[in-house]
Structure 1
């Protein structure tokens, strides 16, 4: 450092931030507050680290804390970042409590969008973690830490770290050897992202997070408002059925149809989220197991039963609130897969319930 307390002749160092790794500084050339951090690497790796860090300068995204400069002085490199007011995800969760699912999903949307932009530019973050996520007062999540050594990491490493960060957001702990259980779609998504065998495509992750950030699951809707009218439940059944038809035609099955995997938007439209390492609830698993298209239809029937009655089906449970939907549910919940209605028949019968209640 040349002039006392000044870096690169323009950044006047002020006071430490957080744990001391970061320093508040004032950019005398641009007349703005900035944050600086020493780039700690072995001397023999300094040139390569600076070259890699400077690739991130100018990376522009609404959810990225911009890296402004990477000056080198007296054999030391520094990262100069835009100053952003906010608390880290780590601080927020430890000081208060884990985030609600809706807020955590929004954090995921923001972070994934930032990572997609970085990856498209050939930049890997390499250090996605709760300490490098800033939560602003407006509810936006910002990813900081670009420019730190990524140790030759590739984009899949960032995706795994994103999942671990979201795990911390909803559970208050890292995944460790026992990732979170539960049937809620965000937790299923996190488990899938943490599993090398089940990792979903980035596009699926983005779409699921986007929906989870806006919509409520069917079980949340029923818990908040009680049993739903038969016509609304029939409309949900039609929407989910249409999303099962194409996979079933290919001989595929979902295997995780249940109220937690059906999302309802503000207009009441239903979307079935992809099967993402779900923890299937026994009440929504057919007698023969969840391994076929016919099993999906049984699970759909159980899901609609729970929506219209306010509780999952059980032996001898009455269908007192189902009205014209009752015969449809009775057939869907048959213990004999061959007696469950085919998709075209089921579609006509659900439309009939809508017309009956129209």
Structure 2
């Protein structure tokens, strides 16, 4: 920390902080100023830390701790200076628009882009929380979208008012809600069975967010992969051999979980660029009716029925319904009929199912 009087320069009304940060023009709404660090020959952003007198010492302590944070998605606090008894934060200058500006000027973000924002901000918060620092001000105005597509979190260095890390995660969910809906969640978070909206609703739920590993895994997958239902909508039904490969990946995942999953449906199945399928963890949304086993039980046999309904959709382009015909399933048809039996005991065992799916997958051209 350094102190010194604000020096007025004869050219215009430009001023300097600490004898080195030459103030230039406002950024955004004007609470943050662009400045030039004459010692390091670089642009920086500066902001006066306005807090009640009784919180000044605590605010300075928080600001100095923030200077230790290093992360690709954190706007660094570079310096803390005192001018005329007023504390100022000197921050890394990042070129880009805030998430709030981007959504209001254009439209809500596509799910993959919003998920990438979530990946960046969640990683930034994890680093801060590991250092014992709570942000306390996560919102669309404090998330910057850079020209390279990276999201960075600014606003560190301000008092967090003794908030818990869970408050940051709730605010992240509200920020992602704004990103995909163009509005805060309010009392009515957006409906929708897609994984990102399901995740946001789960994170906003009063009983608490899902485990961090579930949040991180879901955002990671949504940022780079596409849900199976989106793949079908864009490219049409899958060939039976490709659907069998999806089925094998999902079966392995269900067996690894070793208990009832309850969310096997196309929207929870992510397909990567190589065509490999991954099953997302179950969030609070549950399973859609078209993919819920008729017995309504929470058993692994019920998951197998849902797997059959998912593969039915993969090859036919629509979920199973009374009287629906298997027109495209080919060699997969008898497997689907057994999986979709109304009697759990008539469905194949996992070992039987794996053998049948392997045989069908081997017919890939």
Q: Which interval holds the TM-score relative to the shorter structure?
A: over 0.9
Q: Which residue number corresponds to residue 149 of structure 2?
A: 139
Which stretch shows the higher mean deviation, 193-202 or 179-188?
Answer: 193-202
Structure 2 CA distance, aligned partners of 1:347 and 1:193? 35
Structure 2 residues without counterparts, runs of 5 or longer: 9-14
State the Cα distance separating 1:111 from its structure 2 match: 1.0
Q: Deviations over 1:89-120 (max 9, x none)?
A: 00000110000001111111111111111112
- How far apart are the structure 2 equivalents of 1:30 and 1:355? 62
Partner SS, residue 25 of structure 1? strand
Number of the residue aligned with 1:24: 34
What whole-Å deviation, never above 9, does each CA across 1:115-140 have from its counterpart, x for those lacking one?
Answer: 11111222111111100011011110
Is the Cα–Cα contact under 8 Å of residues 81 and 87 in structure 2 kept in the other structure? yes
Task: Provide closer, same or farther for how the CA distance between residues 290 and 78 of structure 1 changes in structure 2, counting only shifts above 3 A.
Answer: farther
Match of residue 115, structure 1, among 112, 122, 125: 125
Distance in 1 between the 2:57 and 2:271 partners? Answer: 52
Distance of 1:236 and 1:226 partners within structure 2? 15
Query: Where in structure 1 are there 5+ consecutive unaligned residues?
Result: none
**Matching of residue 67 in structure 1 with residue 77 in structure 2:** yes
Matches within 5 A, 1:193-204: 193-197=203-207, 199-204=209-214
In the TM superposition, residue 73 of structure 1 has moved relative to its aligned partner by 2.1
Structure-1 residue corresponding to 2:271: 264
Spell out the pairing of 1:264-283 with structure 2 (5 A cutoff). 264-278=271-285, 280-283=287-290
Q: 2:6 is matched with which residue?
A: 2
- The answer to whether the 8 Å contact 1:256/1:290 transfers is no
> Partners of 1:284 and 1:150 in 2: how far apart?
44
1:42 is matched with: 52
Secondary structure (helix, strand or coil) at the match of 2:64 reads helix
Output the CA distance in 1 between the equivalents of 2:122 and 2:196.
14
Cα deviation for residue 288 of structure 1 reads 2.2
**Does the aligned pair in 1 maintain the 2:120–2:152 contact within 8 Å?**
yes
Kept in 1: contact 2:262–2:286 (CA 8 A): no
Cα offset, 1:290, TM superposition: 5.8
Question: Contact (CA 8 Å) 1:189, 1:276: kept in 2 or not?
Answer: yes
Contact 1:198 1:277 in 2 (8 A): no
Q: How does 1:331-350 map to 2 (within 5 A)?
A: 331-350=338-357
Is residue 91 of structure 1 aligned with residue 101 of structure 2?
yes
For 1:118 and 1:198, how far apart are their aligned partners in 2?
A: 20
Q: In 2, Cα distance between the equivalents of 1:2 and 1:323?
A: 79
SS of aligned partner of 2:278 = strand
Alpha carbons of 1:336 and 1:92: their partners in 2 closer, same or farther (altered >3 Å)? Answer: same
What is the TM-score normalised by the length of structure 1? 0.96
- Indicate the residue corresponding to 1:286 in structure 2: 293
Aligned partner of 1:52 in structure 2 is: 62
CA contact (8 A) 1:181 1:279 kept: no
Say whether 1:246 aligns with 2:253: no
**In the TM superposition, what is the alpha-carbon distance from 1:198 to its structure 2 partner?**
5.3
Which of 160, 165, 188 is 1:155 aligned to?
165
Contact map agreement 1:290 1:296 (CA 8 A) in 2:
no
What does residue 314 of structure 2 align with? 307
Match of 1:321 in 2: 328
2:210 is paired with a residue of what secondary structure? coil
Q: Could you say what secondary structure the match of 1:271 adopts?
A: strand
Deviations 1:29-85 (A, max 9, x none): 222211111111111110111011110113111111111111122221111111111
Q: For each residue in 1:273-292, what CA deviation from the matched residue of structure 2 results, as whole angstroms up to 9, or x when unmatched?
A: 00011253221122222622
TM-score by length of 2: 0.94
Between stretches 285-294 and 41-50, larger displacement belongs to 285-294
Distance in structure 2 (CA, Å) of the matches to 1:12 and 1:156: 38
What do you get for the CA RMSD once the two structures are aligned?
Answer: 1.4
